[in-house]
Amino acid sequence: MKVYGIIGHPIKHTMSPAMHNAAFKALGIDATYVPFEVSAADLKAAIKSLISLGVCGFNVTIPHKAACMEFLDKIDESAQIIGAVNTVNIKKGKLIGYNTDGRGFLRSLKDDLGITPKEKNFFITGAGGAARAVVSVLVHNGANSVVIVDKIKEKAVELADKYSGSGLVKWLDYKQDWAPYIKKADLLINASPVGMKDSDPSPVNVNLLHRNLSVFDLIYNKHTKLVKAAKAKGINACGGFGMLLYQGVFAFEIWTGKKAPVAIMCNALIAQVSLRGPRTVRWCG
């Protein structure tokens, strides 16, 4: 049996095992997908141990998407541009890194919100691994402007500086007034973990949400306070369910070389969401 998995910290919330194990079963692939709790201090040793254990590939989630790169043997060009890896394929003991987050986000953006990046203005909270992927696809798909804000100023500055030559991306100090930038934005994206816990506030003052704005919260296992507030105002909004699904679809195809059973993977995720609370996502068929 082939073994695949996901590394992150925390990892208990992950729904990826259900999605991938359903896909393996549907295609008759003798494989299993399991979560591995890995702290930042143990990252290097954990990645090396996965090879020793015979793991064939793994996903990478918070907070390791950028840090894992120095421990890989080869990195796909798109992942190099993004500066983050969320999918690793292991071939003959060599670790090859990819990023399917950006492609997953782009697919969900079109399917769930009916939006393409071309000539749109974006406001993004969070500057971690997921934000790196999002900013990359926005810049390379015709965005008009991208504003990034993060509690850790250096992260926002680093990400914005990566695209300084384009003139499209700028960073905003967390303590500055966000209102003028959100007013100009066509899409507000939460790429931070704020909202993952029920006790979390909205990452953005909901009074700043306006009818010409759409909202995309990358948190996928619930309708966050941000998404609920947007919908209450009649604003086009979605969570990160579609992005989770499609990044998984593309990762599955990298590992197996087979076309992923998208509907089966989607319905496996829906079952997980339903087990954790009221269904908040569309049915895939």
Give Cβ neighbours of residue 114 (< 8 Å, ≥ 6 apart).
Answer: 236
Same domain, 214 and 147: yes
Q: In this structure, is residue 285 part of a structural domain? A: no
Same domain, 37 and 152: no
Q: In this structure, is residue 284 part of a structural domain? A: no
What confidence score (pLDDT) does residue 117 get? Answer: 98
Same domain, 110 and 227: yes
Distances (CA, A) of 114 to 110, 111, 240, 268: 4, 6, 15, 24
Same domain, 200 and 250: no
Does position 76 have pLDDT exceeding 50, yes or no? Answer: yes
Look at strands 74-75 and 121-125 and give their pairing: unpaired
Same domain, 107 and 172: yes
Does position 269 have pLDDT exceeding 80, yes or no? Answer: yes
Q: How many domains does the chain have?
A: 2
Question: Could you report the per-residue pLDDT of 232-258, keeping only the tens digit for each?
Answer: 999 999 999 999 999 999 999 999 999
Same domain, 153 and 39: no
Same domain, 84 and 145: no
Tokens of 26: 């549907």
Burial of 239 (0-12, 13-18, 19+ CB in 10 A): buried
- The model's pTM is 0.92
**Residue % of the chain over a pLDDT of 90:** 91
What confidence score (pLDDT) does residue 278 get? Answer: 43
CA distance 76 to 156: 24
CA distance 39 to 54: 21
Q: Is 120 a catalytic residue?
A: no
Tokens of 156: 């926002």
Task: Report angle CA 110, 132, 43 to the nearest 5 degrees.
Answer: 125
Does position 62 have pLDDT exceeding 90, yes or no? Answer: no
Does position 275 have pLDDT exceeding 90, yes or no? Answer: no
For the ranges 72-76, 196-200, 278-282, the maximum mean pLDDT occurs at: 72-76
What confidence score (pLDDT) does residue 276 get? Answer: 58
Q: In this structure, is residue 281 part of a structural domain? A: no
Q: In this structure, is residue 283 part of a structural domain? A: no
Q: 265 is in which domain, residue-wise?
A: 2-99+242-276
Tokens of 69: 């790169």
Does position 284 have pLDDT exceeding 50, yes or no? Answer: no
Same domain, 30 and 93: yes
User: Which of 12, 44, 65, 151 is the catalytic position?
Assistant: 65
